[in-house]
Structure 1
Amino acid sequence: MTDSGRRILLGRVLGAFGVRGEAKLESWTEPRSAIFRYQPWIVRDPQGRERELAGVRGKESGKYLVAAFPDVNDRDAVEAMRGTEIYVPRSALPPPQPDEYYWVDLEGLRVVTVDGVPLGTVTHLFATGANDVLVARDDERERMIPFVQPQYVTAVDFEAGVVTVDWDPEF
């Protein structure tokens, strides 16, 4: 998929906040309130229905964000949105800083060791708290490689479509 067609999952609706139609949101942006800058959103409800949504306002409140959706003004309507995912086109996000990456941009890249041994392709990444982990899969196995630069991830070359790692292929 091209960058213009890629979507980035930025957050989701956790449920109602109060009785006036406000919602608790989980955001994976940094800072988390930045999610409100990337509108319009493409929202996908738990049944898979999608629509575009603009004009959402919000603020931080403890460990969540509290959001007010246009034309939603009661708790039941917000509860019906529980689990709704919030996406934006990849093109709506600012370019990453040097040596920073959007995980979605790494997905699908080939992974090779510093000695040229292929380890598969990047299927996804996840956070552990200590560091992020890159998951590379080939036909035979899956490898979890700490995304620690330059110790384990020595280079990312988007033009060549390759992530080079200092990793034992047998591990």
Structure 2
Amino acid sequence: MPGHVGSDPAVVVGRIVGAFGVRGWVKASSFTDPVGNVIRYIPWTLRQGDTERRVDVLEGREHGGCVIVRLQGVDTREAAEALKGFEVTVRRSQLPPPAPGEYYRVDLIGLKVTNLNGVEFGEVVDVMETGANDVLVVRGERERLIPFVQGEFVKSVNLAESRMVVDWDPEF
């Protein structure tokens, strides 16, 4: 499966949105906070479908809410335009450790979820971003959508044991 290397999965940190100028620079949307952090996580792996390409970022900067970067081996506008739509991924190990009580979405995928009474709901298969808060997609005998609100619904997260305990009615 593209994107997985043992226990160091690929994390999508941006997307190439087009070419910038005529010398091969690309413009990328960044999913990092702050936006410019995406430039620090090198090398990048550009991914579209089953196609992956490892590239080094030679230089870059923030520009209008995105970043513009010069990638090794991309020297023309045409080469830059050919990358439009590619996801920018990095290995999970390239990211800094999250602050206490914070988690990268990729770290939550695969956690086994039970409620306070020990009822097993299945495992986290996705984390959806909504306006108010993230929502866990938990799949077991059926799919459940559980708001990722620590303290209220999410009572504990144990990455070492790959477990999460939630305060959630099994009928929901």
SS where residue 56 of structure 1 aligns?
strand
Query: CA contact under 8 A between 1:124 and 1:134: conserved in structure 2?
Result: yes
Q: CA RMSD in A?
A: 1.6
What residue number does 1:110 align with?
Answer: 112
Identity across aligned pairs (percent)?
46
CA pair 124-67 structure 1, distance change in 2 beyond 3 A? same
Report the TM-score when normalising by structure 2: 0.90
Partners of 1:55 and 1:66 in 2: CA distance:
10
What residue number does 2:132 align with?
Answer: 130
SS where residue 12 of structure 2 aligns?
strand
Query: CA contact under 8 A between 1:36 and 1:56: conserved in structure 2?
Result: no
In the alignment of these two chains, the number of paired residues is 168
Matched, 1:158 2:159: yes
Deviations 1:92-149 (A, max 9, x none): 111111100011111111111111111110001011021111110113x211111111
Deviation, 1:62, is 1.6
Partners of 2:57 and 2:160 in 1: CA distance:
37
What residue number does 1:69 align with?
Answer: 71
Partners of 2:57 and 2:96 in 1: CA distance:
20
Partners of 2:156 and 2:140 in 1: CA distance:
20
Partners of 1:145 and 1:87 in 2: CA distance:
27
What residue number does 1:16 align with?
Answer: 19
Equivalent residues in 2 for 1:16-35, closer than 5 Å: 16-35=19-38
CA pair 161-47 structure 1, distance change in 2 beyond 3 A? closer
What residue number does 1:79 align with?
Answer: 81
Partners of 1:63 and 1:30 in 2: CA distance:
11
Report the TM-score when normalising by structure 1: 0.90
